[in-house]
Chain A
Amino acid sequence: MKKLIVALCLLLSSNIFCQEKDTLNKIDESVKNEAKKIISNEVTDKRSANWQDVIANYFQLALKDIGGEKRKFELKTTLFNIKAKANKDLWTDYNYEKEKFSRNFQIEAGLSLNDNNRINAFTYGFGWSYNGRDRSINILVNSKSAAIYKNYKDDLINAQEAYYYYLEKINDSEWEEKIKEVQAIKDKYKSNENEIKMIPLREFPVDFRRFLSEKYENYSENFIKQNKSDIEAIGRKPYFFIGVNNSLNDKSKILDNYKIQAVFLKGIKSQNIKMEIDFRNTYKIYDSIQTITYKRKEFSSQLGLNISILKKDEKSLIEFKPSFEFKRIFSSLMDDERNNQFLANADLRVRILKNLWIPLILKYDIKNNNLFGFLNISFNAIKDK
């Protein structure tokens, strides 16, 4: 098993797993440093936490069950990220588009530590997704906002050309400086965020403005509205994921413990609130609490609605997901436990940093009046070329 762990560590090029072996403190330090590096970079942060949990477009590193008995570290990535480390040409658009399978094939690995901060379990998994929301592929080129953008650019270029020849015609002694001034204004408005910032009319020199059309002033407002609407439409597209993962420890064999999961997400169009249907089905086999000789087998089906209840500038800050869950236990029932369980769940996620969420998960057993709670911390890292 140790060889397998080392091999997968190398495969994922994860400094964190390979460098830190013994102490939780060392791992904590490494995670903090990684987090600082990640958070200092710009990341796309308009995705919901619900969406990020499922998709590993970025390397995802997570700490789970903090303060609990099982301290767990997970790393998720895609086959594409691994391939692209060896061949950077895969990032060029025509190659990138062809890598459909590898971009959507997810690989994960994780370690659990015991009370002595020794590795006591290793998990790994694979999954595939149909991702209608991937903005690197689902583009705006034929959208309504693209038509507004074209009109805006045509208007601006026509004005530039007319201005250029006008200055030449009148033999303006400062014509070169004036052309450079317009170009500097254009450069100033180019943004590194994933958005286009149209230049307000007031930014241009007075003698340049008269070459712009009367419609120019309206482009920006129309574009912002339409662009937002076009991006939201992509964000509501369906997402499907199916995957399997396996857990190994010193006493178990391959496929002793595993989980198969299928997730379907679909956004709902609404005026102000961001919502999506969340449907998950899971079948898992794992060690029962009493003994590892008897495996606990269970199936659960969960249907919920993820709601962004607080957002600022299109960034979701607090999300709430009420859901109903049906659970069927096939073997290794605990005392007083029923085969069939109906649960009412509530997940509350709070964004505390740009890409750092704290989810609180409450589960209520409707029949037995039992309440359970779990706390996780997770963040997503940017892709590493």
Chain B
Amino acid sequence: MANLTLKVTVIGGLSDYGITYRLQKNGQLIQAKKYLESFEKTFTDLNGKYSLYVYGSGPATNEKKVIIRLVFNDSEIDLIERLSSDNPLEETTYEISGDYYFITI
């Protein structure tokens, strides 16, 4: 069973619409949560094919920046890089989104 940590850092004020993650497995929603500020979330016991969507907004300021980073705690997960957003992803736009596809090996 594999583990994966999602780290989201919000810079330049508070996220206007919050930051939400949605973890899907084989097209089905497994977990979803909205955070009002920077957060770190570890997904454990992963087994199979997953999609992870991160979306929301940065602060309504000129200094807005959101950093989305996935940390793989072991080598048992393969991030499908050709389909996924950058890791780490630095978003300086107001609306932010990161789409990640991965599979446990």
Query: Which chain A residues have a beta carbon within 8 Å of chain B's beta carbons?
Result: 41-44, 91-94, 96-97, 135-137, 139-141, 146, 149-150, 153-154, 157, 160-162, 164-165, 176, 179-180, 183, 186, 189-197, 382-383, 385
In the complex, how many residues of chain B place their beta carbon closer than 8 angstroms to a beta carbon of chain A?
A: 40
Q: Which of chain B's residues 8-56 have a Cβ closer than 8 Å to chain A? A: 9-18, 20, 22, 24, 26-27, 34, 36-38, 51, 53, 55
Q: Is the CB of A164 within 8 A of B17?
A: no
Q: Which of B22, B61, B96 has the most CB of A within 10 A?
A: B61
A41 to B92, CA, bound (A): 14
Closest A residue to B24 by CB, please name it.
Answer: A161
Q: Which of B9, B59, B82 has the most CB of A within 10 A?
A: B59
Least CB distance from B68 to A in Å reads: 13
Q: A92-B10, A136-B61, A140-B17 are in contact. Are A161 and B27 (CB under 8 A)?
A: yes
Point out the residues of chain B lying under 8 angstroms from A96, CB to CB.
Answer: 12-14
Q: Which of chain B's residues 86-105 have a Cβ closer than 8 Å to chain A? A: 91-97, 99
Q: Is the CB of B59 within 8 A of A136?
A: yes
Point out the residues of chain A lying under 8 angstroms from B62, CB to CB.
Answer: 41-44, 382-383
Q: Is the CB of B94 within 8 A of A139?
A: no
Q: Is the CB of A92 within 8 A of B93?
A: no
Least CB distance from A122 to B in Å reads: 30
Query: Which chain B residues have a beta carbon within 8 Å of chain A's beta carbons?
Result: 9-18, 20, 22, 24, 26-27, 34, 36-38, 51, 53, 55, 57, 59-64, 82-83, 85, 91-97, 99
Point out the residues of chain A lying under 8 angstroms from B18, CB to CB.
Answer: 139, 141, 146
Point out the residues of chain B lying under 8 angstroms from A146, CB to CB.
Answer: 17-18
Point out the residues of chain A lying under 8 angstroms from B10, CB to CB.
Answer: 92-93
Q: Is the CB of B95 within 8 A of A197?
A: yes
Q: Which 8 A-B pairs have the closest CB atoms?
A: A136-B13, A194-B60, A190-B93, A93-B10, A135-B60, A141-B18, A93-B37, A136-B61
Point out the residues of chain A lying under 8 angstroms from B26, CB to CB.
Answer: 165
Point out the residues of chain B lying under 8 angstroms from A136, CB to CB.
Answer: 12-14, 59-61
In the complex, 21 of the A-B residue pairs with CB atoms within 8 angstroms, ordered by the A residue number, are A44-B62, A91-B12, A91-B63, A92-B9, A93-B13, A93-B59, A96-B13, A135-B13, A135-B16, A135-B61, A139-B17, A140-B17, A140-B60, A141-B16, A141-B36, A146-B18, A153-B20, A160-B99, A176-B83, A191-B94, A193-B94
